[in-house]
Amino acid sequence: MKIECVKTHHLRCNLDEPFGFSQWFYNQRNVLVIEVITDEGVSGWGECYGPADVIQGAVEKFYGPRILGKPALSTDAIWHFMWRASLDFARSGVMMAAMSGIDMALWDLKGKALGLSVSELMGGRNRDFVPCYATGMYYTDLPEDKLLTSLVDEGAGYANEGFQAMKIKVGKNPEFDIKFAKALREACPNTQLMADSNHGFDLPEAIRVGRVLEALDYLWFEEPLAPDHLHLFDKLQQKLDIPLATGECFQTRFQFNSLIQSNSVHLLQPDLAYCGGPSEALKIRAMASANGINVIPHVWGTQLNLAAATHFLATAYHEPGRAEEKTLFMEYDRTENPLRDEMYQTEIKVTAGIAEVPTAPGLGVQICPNALKKFDINSTETKL
Ligand code: MG
């Protein structure tokens, strides 16, 4: 079974209400999805995290033509072929995001060809349901007092829906962040809370905010510092007891190895649509396991990436493991995204904050062709 065709679709939609975090505001959603089709008519889908139009060029012009004719089930062999073909200039960044989406599509394809779900391909499910944490509480264009009330109401809403865990944004400014973190803890005393600054703090600010989060029993402090300053993570970790999480900006086993070797991070968060795909995420997890660290994917995007993360966590085991297992909560983005919520005819079912692991072959989610047309602003096709 050989790869005969690689299609890409740049999908876009405008948002009803822009929302922001420590770095910028979103007023649009964009994503690149990839379909790989074989000479036997089996097809697989993947998605990429990052600038869709730029990644589209990498798939259409570079990787797509090179993988045509390759044996479609050889996920690892194709990954290493792509890696070698772009070795000097694509060790990370958008080229690796392109490889990630192709790799994800090949896992979906392999599952469909063999009649196995991706979790079965990954070694078998440890669980049929994956508890999720709600990611939300982004900023809107309100004065801070009204914003704080609206964010706390949003969080209380997730708790009422049944979510056992949720993650807030911090990094607006430390004064607001501290007020918000305290108010949410009061409103949701029995919910696991996490906080993510998207590398919005310098070291003194991260220490200050981190100490508050720690006192409020937050579960982890995500991207407290810029990914480029690993030596500062070490300094921060020496000041705080709260676990530090990071990894959505990191790619490949090689970058994650540096992160692990820094001995300053307790939770790794590779994005399966960016880190090198499911193939590379499994290698990162094996390395993390060898070092006693857990992995929970970063998930931002549509149902394909959510499905990949669901299978990944269905096959995960907590390090070091025990009879009463600690939960590895999956990230479940709750911000507005029609490309996630209005484009699929088969989705990941999430009920009261618990995701059901699909048992259908492949990733187990399916794009509706008409919805694809609605959001598609540019598509490409590379054929044998
Ligand atoms: Mg994050």
Any domain includes 216: yes
The verdict on 248 and 193 lying in the same domain is yes
Q: Domain containing 379 — which CATH number?
A: 3.30.390.10
User: Which of 306, 298, 309 minimizes the C-alpha distance to 341?
Assistant: 306
How many angstroms separate the CA atoms of 297 and 289, rounded?
A: 14
Domain annotation covers residue 361: no
Q: Which band of pLDDT confidence, cut at 50, 70 and 90, is reported for residue 168?
A: very high
pLDDT at 357 over 90: yes
Report how far ligand 1's centroid is from the alpha carbon of 8 (Å).
26
Residues 155 and 94 in one domain: no
Residue 325, judged by CB atoms within 10 A of its CB (0-12, 13-18, 19+), counts as exposed
In this structure, are 234 and 131 located in the same domain? yes
**Domain check: are 82 and 134 in the same one?**
no
Among residues 9, 10, 199, 298, the one annotated as catalytic is 298
Q: State in Å: Cα 152 to ligand 1 middle.
A: 19
Residues with CB under 5 A from ligand 1 (ion): 196
Distance 222 CA to ligand 1 centre (A): 6
Whether 105 and 244 share a structural domain: no
Q: Is residue 241 part of a domain?
A: yes
Q: What is the 358 CA–ligand 1 centroid distance (Å)?
A: 25
Domain count of the fold of the chain: 2
Task: Clarify whether residues 8 and 58 are in a common domain.
Answer: yes
- Ligand 1: distance of its center to the CA of 24 in Å? 14
Residue 325 pLDDT > 90: no
Closest CA to 309 of 345, 284, 273, 280: 273
Averaged confidence pLDDT in the chain: 97
Burial classification of residue 119, based on how many CB atoms lie within 10 Å of its CB (0-12 exposed, 13-18 middle, 19 or more buried): buried
pLDDT tens, 231-252?
999 999 999 999 999 999 999 9
Q: What is the DSSP string of 60-73?
A: IIIIHHHHTTSBTT
Same domain, 102 and 135: no
- Same structural domain, 39 and 89: yes
Q: Give the H or E element holding residue 253.
A: helix 252-261
Query: Range of 286's domain?
Result: 120-356
- In this structure, are 312 and 251 located in the same domain? yes
Distance 62 CA to ligand 1 centre (A): 29
pLDDT value at residue 97: 98
Pairing of strands 244-246, 221-222: parallel
The alpha carbon of 273 and the centre of ligand 1 are apart by a number of angstroms equal to 14
- The proportion of the chain whose per-residue pLDDT surpasses 70, expressed as a percent, equals 100
What's this model's pTM, rounded to 2 decimal places? 0.98
302 C-alpha to ligand 1 centroid (Å): 16
Please state the length of the chain.
384
Q: What is the pLDDT of residue 169?
A: 98
Q: Tell me how far apart the alpha carbons of residues 236 and 364 are, in angstroms, rounded to a whole number.
A: 41
CB atoms within 10 A of CB 347: 17
Q: Is the pLDDT of residue 36 over 90?
A: yes
Average pLDDT over every residue of 100-117: 98
- CATH code, domain with 143: 3.20.20.120
Q: How far apart are CA 268 and CA 246, in angstroms?
A: 6
One domain, residues 329 and 265: yes
State the distance from the centre of ligand 1 to the C-alpha of 21, rounded, in angstroms: 10
Query: Does residue 223 sit within a domain?
Result: yes
Q: What is the pLDDT of residue 84?
A: 97
> For 299-311, what is each residue's pLDDT tens digit?
999 999 999 999 9
CA–CA separation, 303 vs 314, rounded Å? 16
85 with 156, same domain?
Answer: no
**Ligand 1 centroid, distance to 69 Cα (angstroms):** 37
106 and 171 part of one domain: no
Residue at 174 is within a domain: yes
Place of tokens 């921060």: 236
pLDDT score, position 300: 96
Would you call 298 a catalytic residue per the annotation?
yes
- Average pLDDT over every residue of 358-383: 98
Q: Over range 356-370, report the average pLDDT.
A: 98
Count Cβ atoms below 10 Å from residue 61 Cβ, excluding itself.
Answer: 13
Closest CA to 199 of 239, 233, 238: 233
Question: 285: helix, coil or strand?
Answer: helix
2 token code pair: 């050989």
Residue 141 maps to a domain? yes
- Residue 281 alpha carbon to ligand 1 centre in Å: 17
The per-residue pLDDT for 329 is 98
Q: Render pLDDT for 117-142 as a digit per residue (tens, 0 to 9).
A: 999 999 999 999 999 999 999 999 99
Interatomic CA distance for residues 335 and 243, integer angstroms: 25
